[in-house]
Structures are given as structure tokens and as C-alpha cells.
Structure 1
């Protein structure tokens, strides 16, 4: 039984003020949307603090809040490996990928693949991203949010709660595009962090304090580096699968990288990305370890997914409950708005504008709005089905592990090897789809093999990379201009070093990246 304390009138007032305020702000910001670049990329004028906070808000969805606490409760803090790895992945992104992405002036990540390879690669990745936006990102966020509000409104069917949540986030997304989304996310990130601090402090105080939790919980559940036999994050998977999944999410997922595409310039894109990486480090203390402390407070919960709502409603007094629920809604709405806007951008720019090149400006914006509406309806229909799967976190990671390796091969090989060509890309996609489908059936349907999903991703990635290289070598190379300005080289690094030599250290992104990696290493070593 979940100890739900309920909400007092002051809590409902706080939530109502938040909801009305954030929707009103979004509609206010929606006044400027005259061009496609303004609607889809906020006129490419976003500064680094906004980018960093928006990235955090897009990432920390209701799914994450429920999933992190639940995983820490069920299997231990090894789930935090996905969080600190984000900092390392974002450093990689800033050094090797971001400058070429911004200089290409693309609207979408699949568009980058068309410039590097072919229209086939663009269409495949765009279709895949739309699918994942629907069944993974948006639907899971709606489902996670509905789980919490179902405790408040036990008599209301799950599907009705899902509809209300989707409509709330969809109003200003449809009206204002990325500008409305990204600036509301900035406020939502601050509220989310504040609410998480309140829940974490209250949880540890109730459990007897830091020393009490660290001393009473099984040491195995307080270790980031887990043995080979670990069911959640075995250490080989930490070295292979987690970085690959992190690269997909932070470097190629449209609903995340679209914030970086809106950057004022390369410096703001890099500073914002590194800021987001720094904001991921406190997640261990604010969102993961409270789930560990819950083992002492509520040892017999029926499902790990109930940990976060149990802490929220079981420990917080009136007023703070409303603040925490508003923080939860911030995470939920920012994530939903992000995926809605991402999906509309992908559909409009990767499909409609290619089919109808004469369509421009306001016409494309109208298409984007209709795409957002369709995405919202589809996500509302699918979200209730997630309860038939296992835990929310497992649902997310397993689907991504089978789906994204061919795209990771296209990016990671293509960024560093100029010879990768369109024929190799087509073969890579084919091998990834067939190999992923065969392994999924063998591993999950027929159960003839048993491979951890963190090994599935690197196995499929290696297969796809080998096929990409071999077919590229066996076929005629693409024209040299195809990869011009899209491939990292040592010469580019040296030229950049000359420019950075004249920057003060606090503006030098390499110095900032080094500090971020050092802080990450300290945390990992401490909780090894």
C-alpha cells in the first residue's frame, strides 16, 4: 500500500498557478513565429544558460524521475552510470561533432546524414526517430506522469489523465514552436531542481541521515562498478553499451540536439552542452540516492516504479507537496513539449519540405502544427499500453538498444572516416535492421539466447560498422565535396588550438571540458 498523504488546498493552488503560468508564458512567447527558422530553431539565437537548462529539462522527464528512483530501489545506484556518462558523452560531442553540425546549418539530425551519405540515410533515421519519439519518449513520459496522478485521482481512468497531460503541454508547443518550448523549459528546469532538492533532503532526514543510509543499505546497491554477473549494469556494458546509448541520446536524438542547433554560435552551443553535463552530476544525490534511502523507509513496495510517488506523497507536508508536484509536472511537460516539437520538425523538414520544395514559411509552420497534433494523439493512444511491459526504465533501454546501433555506426564512422559512402550507409542500415530484428526475436521472443541489452547495442554496432567499412571499400567513393566540412581531422584540431590559445581559460571549452571530466571521475571513484 502506497502511503499517499494527499494534497491540501495550498498544494492544489501551487499546481494550478504553475500550470496556468507556464502555459500562459508559452503562449506569450508564441507571438514570434513568422519563419520556419524561428518556429523550429528559435531563430538560432539561444544562449548557453538557456541551452544547458533546456537540455536538462528535456532529459529529466517524469520517466527519469520515476525510473531513476525505482532502479536505485530495485537494483542499486548503478543506474546513475547513465547519468555521469552523459557528461563524458557531451564532452565528446563538443570536441568532435558539434562544430560540424552547427556549420552545416541543418534543421534536423537526419538532414546531416543526407549531406554526409544519402537521402536514404536521412529518411531511415528520420522515420526511426519519429517512431522512438512516439513509443519511447512521449508515450513513456505520459505514462510516467499518469502513474503519479493516478494516486491523486484513483477513480479516474489512466487514459483520461494521459489526455489532460498531453493537451496541457501541446497547447503552447503547437502555438509557439521551439522558442516557446525552450524558454519554458528553462523555468521548468529551475523548478525541477528545487523540487528534487526538497524531496532528497526530506527523504534522507526521515531515513536517519546520510550515514544511516550508507551504513544500512547493502553495499552492493551503493556501487557504480558492478560485477560481470550484475543484472542491471555489468561493467563490460558500462564500457560499451552505456556510451553508445548515451551518444544516441545526447548527440543524435533530435529532441535533445535541437536545443543545440538553436545556439547563437559554436561557443554558446559548447558551453550550453557542457553546462548540461555539469547539471547531470548532482542527479546522483537529488534523484538516485533518495530511491536507495527508500529501501529503509518502504521496504515492501509492490513495484519500483512506485518509489518516487511514495516519497513525494508520503514524506512531504502541505505546500511542499504542491511544489514537488509542480516540479514533477515541469519535468513531464518539458519532455512532452520537446518531443512534440522534435517530431513536428522531423516530419516537416525531412519529409514534407522534400516532397513539396515550393512550400515555405507560414505553410511549413502550419504543417508543423498539424504534425504536433497528430503526434499528441498517437502518443495518447499508445501510452496506456506501457503498463503491460516490465519496469519503465527497462522498457526505455531495451527498445533503444535494438533500434539505434546502425545510426550510431553511420555517425561515428562517418565523422572520422572520409571514405564511408552512400552505398556503405545503405548496407549498414540493412544489416542493422535485419540483425536487430533477428537478435530481438532470438533474445526476447524465442528465448534461445540470453544477451543483456547493454551487450546487444555494441554487438549490433560492430556488425553495422564492419558492413559500412567493407561495402564502402568495395564500391566507388562518393564525390570529395560530399564529406567536405563534415569530417573531423587532426588539422581541424590544430587550427582550433591556435584560436583557443587567445581565449581566457573560462571561455576555453577544452578547459571547461577537462574540469567536467575531472569532477565526473571524482564521483565515479568515490562510489566505485
Structure 2
């Protein structure tokens, strides 16, 4: 990458970091616990939508999904496109419950619904998932992309392993400083800046990629894409594809409901909304962005199928295409968006992990021991925890290189250990009001043991998403059985403690319908009924 690209990249990153941090400091949102972790619950729908989207989009998707399309087909869009349906369920049913109860973290709800023991257990599960899964994979994906674009190892004349360590720590340390200085407000403001760049790339990269494929003619490139190697255009996955179509109706819906409705660092963006209406509008905005995302996280992989036949490392598909087809300024913008995506997801994860620690572990322990705790003490503990977690994640991230079946395998399978057991007890807790805390605790432990056995010890010939769904059903039945034998003496009743206006968005149903129709249309287009 030449000097123009590098200076474009550096200028955009410096602008986003400095502008967002200055704005956050000016608003003094970082000086209070609510401000640092929840942006004072003052975000409008644009901030909610942008922060939700950019907290979700990381270098992992640019790298992993384009690689999957390159070596397989478009079935991998199931992760993003079908998340629209899950997000709308979250918007309509989950978010009103969270805002009515006035919670700051997901375990807060579990304490209200079950007991403090369940809250503590789930807080520990969350923290393990962040330390072992989310934060290391975000750093690793960002490092792979950054190294591929700027050829760090070659420029410094060091090995790939050493270059990986260097870039992981570079991203991690910048992210850590940024998160500690600015808090959630700074992260949200930079999300809007970087999302703008992302939408520019959604148009620019496919255009230049198809023009390059057509040897100077955009329409020739489109013709080649649609008529040669058409099997790669199919999103209706078969049994041997990355995402079999049947999994969309089993484990996929469970994972997406958990991610958008119960993952702390994602829900934290929703809880930062200044009203239920703003949170629901922000979620709808994110849905629209997710439907456009294949332009950037899947279509480049399709174009690359026709351009590269001997890539030594298929994970380099996206950065290689961007480097080959884009003008220097646009290549710099791509590097900035990739770096920003890794940085902001890492920061959001740090902020989410820290909020779990201070709200659910540090503050209750300190109150019990000392009888009081002030905001400065909580903030100091939260920032120190961020530093510890970040350093640990930076130490773990490079070793993902040695994952037996690769980076994508690590992300998908390891996250399942932590996500679905939490989903199970929260989901059942929403609708079954006499299931006791004992059932929730047993369910979490039972699910984790069964999933680890099925995916990492026993050789079961079943897709991991189907396995998640089966274990979810068995765990649910176990909770029902315990609830039947030893139900709560009194049914759970939601107690109103809202911190913001909980009047719902009046016109939401019209937009929900439009989004669902568009989701189905995307699948029809990338199917044998469409262009496949």
C-alpha cells in the first residue's frame, strides 16, 4: 500500500478518535458511571443504530465471510440477513422489558427474575466469553486484515508470527487507551463517522471490483459474475455448505436472538437510547444496514472467485481485492474502516465486560464489605478491569492462529459454549413466571457440559447449529421439569423502574413488514429462483 493510502488511513483514524474523544470529554459523560457505561441514556436513534451496527461489524466478518463465499458460496449470509428477523423480535418483545425494569446489564434482569446467585453465575459466564472468545477474535481478525493491507511483516522484515503479535498489541493498546479515555459516548460518536465510511465502501468496492473483473467495463464484470461460476451465488446452503439452509430455522435463530437481545455489549447500545421509541428506531436502522452488508462482506468474495486461483491464504481475500482494485485514497479508507471496525468492537466489548464487572461483582461486593461506594471508586475499578482484560485478550489472540480448523471455526464454536445457555434461562424467564432460580443455575451448567461434549470431545456427525438447538430443547425441558417439581412460591411480577420514556414507536409495524419482505427478497435473489 502506497503513501497516499497510508496517510488517508492515518488521517481518518486520527480524526475519528480525536473528534469522538473530545466530544465525549466536552459532554463530561465519562465522569459518571451512567455516562461512562451507558452514555447517560441520552442517545438518539441515529446513535443507537450506528453504534449497534458498528459494534456488530468487525474485521472478523470482512475476513471470515468473504473467505467463506470465496471457498464455498453465499450461504454464509444467513448470519447477517436472517438477523433482521431476530432483531425485530428483540425490538418488540425484549427491549420493552429491559427498559421497563431499568436494568444496566443483562445479569441485572436475571437477579430481578431469579436471584443474586443466578446473576453472579451468568456474570462469570459472560466475562469468560469476552476474555476467551469475543475480544481475542476481534483483535486477531483486525491484525490479519491490517497485516494483509500494509504488509507489516514484510516491511519490518519479521516473521508472520511476530507480525501478528505486533499488530494485535498495536490495535489492542490503541483501543484500550481510547476506551478508558472516552467511555461509551466516544465509541458511539466514532461509530457514526466510521459507518459513513462503511456505506461509501459498499458502493465503491463492488463498483471498482466489477470494473476490474470486466477489464475496464463495469457491465462486463457484472456479466461475468452472473454467468460464470454461478454456484457461488447460491445462498440456499446444502448439507455440506457453511450454513445449511435448515439451520436457519434451528440454531441460527437462537444464536441471533441471543446476540441481538442478550449479548451485553450489544444490548448496552440499546439501553443507551433516550427512549423506547429511539431504541426501536435504532434497531430498525441497523436492520436496514444489515440488509446492505452483503455488498461489502460477501460480494467482494464473489468477485475474488473469478480473479484469484492460487491465493496462498484464503483469509486474505478481502484485503487482497481491496488493495488490487481500489484507488489509493479508497484503499486507505478501506484500511481505516477495517481498523475502526476492529477497534470499536474491541472497545464496545471492553466497555461491556467492565460494566458487567462493576455493576454485578465489584459494587455489590464493596457495598457488602464497606456499606457504601462512590462513583469515582466504581469508575476507577472499571477502568482498571478494562486494562487487565485487554492485556489478557492481547496475550490470547495470536494463538488463534493454531486453531485446529481455523479462525472461523474458533469464532463459531467457542461462542456457542457461552451464548445459548444464557439465552435459554433468560428466554424461559420471560414467559414462564414460576421457574425457580435452581432451574436456571442447573440449566447453565448442564448446557455448557453437553455442548462441550458434543463439539469438542465426542465425534458427532451433526452441524453445530443443529446441536445447539437440540441441547436448547433438552435444557428447556429440564427447566420445566424442575419448575414442575419445585416451582417458585409466587410468580414473578415485573416491577416498573424505567429510567426513560417507554412509549413504543407508533409506526414500527409498517417498517417491520418492509424489512421482513426485503430480507426474503435477498434470499430469493441469491437462490436458484434468482441469479444463482
TM over 0.5: yes
State the secondary structure of the residue aligned to 1:356. Answer: helix
Distance in 2 of aligned mates of 1:131 and 1:46: 29
- What displacement does 1:323 show? 1.4
The residue number in structure 2 matching 1:190 is 196
1:522 maps to 2:521? yes
1:43 maps to 2:40? yes
Match among 9, 14, 39 for residue 8 of structure 2? 14
Distance in 2 of aligned mates of 1:466 and 1:185: 41
Q: Which residues in structure 2 correspond to 1:112-261 (within 5 Å)?
A: 112-151=109-148, 152-154=151-153, 155-156=157-158, 157=162, 158-208=164-214, 209-219=221-231, 221-227=232-238, 229-261=239-271
The residue number in structure 1 matching 2:464 is 453
Could you tell me which runs of 5 or more consecutive residues in structure 1 were left unpaired when the two chains were aligned: 1-6, 487-495
Kept in 1, the 8 Å contact 2:12–2:333? The answer is: no
The verdict on how the C-alpha distance between 1:422 and 1:322 changes in structure 2, with shifts beyond 3 A counting, is same
State the secondary structure of the residue aligned to 2:311. Answer: coil
Distance in 1 of aligned mates of 2:330 and 2:420: 43
Q: Which residues in structure 2 correspond to 1:281-430 (within 5 Å)?
A: 281-357=291-367, 358-389=372-403, 390-430=405-445
Give the number of aligned pairs. 499
Q: Which segment is superposed worse, 126-135 or 350-359? A: 126-135
Match among 17, 23, 32 for residue 23 of structure 1? 17
Q: Which residues in structure 2 correspond to 1:463-478 (within 5 Å)?
A: 463-478=474-489
The verdict on how the C-alpha distance between 1:69 and 1:108 changes in structure 2, with shifts beyond 3 A counting, is same
Match among 57, 61, 76 for residue 60 of structure 1? 57
- What displacement does 1:427 show? 2.0
Kept in 1, the 8 Å contact 2:187–2:344? The answer is: yes
TM value normalised by structure 1 = 0.91
The residue number in structure 2 matching 1:34 is 31
Kept in 2, the 8 Å contact 1:58–1:256? The answer is: yes
The verdict on how the C-alpha distance between 1:310 and 1:81 changes in structure 2, with shifts beyond 3 A counting, is same
Distance in 2 of aligned mates of 1:372 and 1:240: 35
The residue number in structure 1 matching 2:499 is none
Distance in 1 of aligned mates of 2:141 and 2:210: 24
Kept in 1, the 8 Å contact 2:84–2:515? The answer is: yes
- What displacement does 1:269 show? 0.7
Distance in 1 of aligned mates of 2:205 and 2:135: 25
State the secondary structure of the residue aligned to 2:298. Answer: helix
- When the two chains are superposed, the root-mean-square deviation of aligned CA atoms in Å is 1.8
Distance in 2 of aligned mates of 1:408 and 1:145: 28
Distance in 2 of aligned mates of 1:356 and 1:377: 25
Kept in 1, the 8 Å contact 2:101–2:494? The answer is: no
Distance in 1 of aligned mates of 2:489 and 2:274: 32
State the secondary structure of the residue aligned to 1:274. Answer: helix
- What displacement does 1:388 show? 0.8
Q: Which segment is superposed worse, 299-308 or 70-79? A: 299-308
Kept in 2, the 8 Å contact 1:405–1:460? The answer is: no
Kept in 2, the 8 Å contact 1:59–1:256? The answer is: yes
Distance in 1 of aligned mates of 2:198 and 2:134: 18
The residue number in structure 2 matching 1:493 is none
The residue number in structure 1 matching 2:530 is none
Q: Which segment is superposed worse, 240-249 or 230-239? A: 230-239
1:110 maps to 2:126? no
The residue number in structure 2 matching 1:491 is none
1:331-365 superposed Cα distances (whole Å, 9 cap, x missing partner): 11111111111111111111101111222311111
Write out the 4+ residue segments of structure 1 that deviate beyond 4 Å after TM superposition: none
Kept in 2, the 8 Å contact 1:402–1:457? The answer is: no
Distance in 1 of aligned mates of 2:375 and 2:278: 26
- What displacement does 1:63 show? 0.8
Distance in 1 of aligned mates of 2:524 and 2:10: 43
